[in-house]
Structure 1
Amino acid sequence: METTDWNHATHIAKDELPPAITTYLAAQHARDLDVAMAYYTDTSTVIDDGRTYTGRREIRDWLAQSSSEYTYTIDLIAAAKIDDRRYDAVHHLEGDFPGGTVDLHFRFHLDNDKITTLVIEP
Structure 2
Amino acid sequence: MQTTLPDPISRYFAADKSDGAAVAQCFTETGRVTDEKQTYRGRDAIRKWREEATSQYTYTVEPFSVRTDGEAVIVTGHVSGNFPGSPVDLKYRFVLADGEIDSLEIAL
Whether the TM-score (by the shorter chain) exceeds 0.5 is: yes
Specify the TM-score bucket, using the shorter chain as the normaliser.
Answer: 0.7 to 0.9
Structure 1 partner of 2:95: 109
1:18 paired residue among 6, 9, 12? 6
- When the two structures are superposed, what TM-score results if normalisation uses the length of structure 2? 0.88
Q: What's the CA shift for 1:37?
A: 2.0
Distance 1:88 1:67 in 2: 23
Runs of 4+ aligned structure 1 residues displaced above 4 Å come to none
- When the two structures are superposed, what TM-score results if normalisation uses the length of structure 1? 0.79
Aligned identity (percent) is 35
Distance 1:40 1:73 in 2: 20
The answer (yes or no) to whether the contact 2:96–2:102 under 8 Å persists in 1 is yes
Distance 1:58 1:73 in 2: 22
Distance 1:31 1:68 in 2: 13
Paired letter, 1:87:
V
Aligned residue for 1:103, secondary structure, equals strand
Aligned positions, number: 107
Give the structure with the higher percent helix. Answer: 1
Unaligned runs of 5+ in 2: none
Aligned CA RMSD, in angstroms, stands at 1.6
